[in-house]
A and B are shown apart, each in its own frame.
Chain A
């Protein structure tokens, strides 16, 4: 499985945008970039995914570099409920998800 690299932790102030980076230099042409997040003591929650183009949904935006070797998850206006571990995962079509250690996001009131 192609690997991703994320910072262990990040902090952000409430009501400000958050940019969570992910590096995936060995990504293959058929790998989708998936983001999930896990709140304390809960199962992971799907956030967003994309292949080449930037993607937006009600939760977040996903910005994908032109060479696809990196991507950024953007939370436009962080709230305390966004405090979670965010996982960036590469996944070929219908292959299994392999979770890394993710980025622990702390929101400062």
Chain B
């Protein structure tokens, strides 16, 4: 199956700093990438959808200036959490779809656990 990687797998940062999370599709070209967040014992919540070379589409209630998404190539998308605060601590998961992988199937990365002190 198609493989998606994320880096880092976990990160701890101080309040007020920015954190960048990378998402890579390793063996397919992800024309669309998705970013989710998941709080402990809760389900995944979609944050935004991005198509390569276009601006991301954010879900209602997600601050686009706080969660910066860049999808500069068909194999790389980044999520930057700006001025992170403790309430941003969560499990962030990306997914890729399209371009050589099975159509209509999202392939998920392993997730990045962010802890903001």
A-to-B contact residues, CB < 8 Å:
32, 34, 36, 38, 41-46, 49, 87, 91, 93-94, 96-102
Q: Which residues of B contact A98 (CB under 8 A)?
A: 46
Q: Which residues of A contact B110 (CB under 8 A)?
A: 42-43
Please classify the interface of chain A as helix (H, G, I), strand (E, B), loop, or mixed, using the class held by over half of its residues: loop
Interface size counted on chain B using CB atoms at 8 A:
25
| A-B Cβ contacts below 8 A, count | 50
Q: Do A43 and B95 contact each other (CB < 8 Å), given the known contacts A98-B46, A99-B43, A101-B43?
A: yes
Please tell me if the beta carbons of A46 and B43 are within 8 angstroms of each other in the complex.
no
Please tell me if the beta carbons of B104 and A32 are within 8 angstroms of each other in the complex.
yes
Please tell me if the beta carbons of A91 and B43 are within 8 angstroms of each other in the complex.
no
B-to-A contact residues, CB < 8 Å:
1, 4, 6, 34, 36, 43-46, 49, 91, 93-95, 97, 102, 104-111, 113
